[in-house]
Amino acid sequence: MAVTLAKALLTIKTEEEYAQVMKDLMTPQEIRVLEERWRIAQMLEAGEQSYREIAAETGASVTTIGRVARFLKEEPYQGYRILLERTAKK
What is the tens place of the pLDDT at every residue in 21-79?
999 999 999 999 999 999 999 999 999 999 999 999 999 999 999 999 999 999 999 99
pTM: 0.88
- Taking the C-alpha atoms of residue 4 and residue 12, their distance in angstroms, rounded to an integer, is 14
Residue 45: closest CA among 18, 82, 15: 82
Over 70: is that where the pLDDT of 1 sits?
no
Task: For residue 89, name the pLDDT band (cuts at 50, 70, 90).
Answer: confident
What is the tens place of the pLDDT at every residue in 14-34?
999 999 999 999 999 999 999
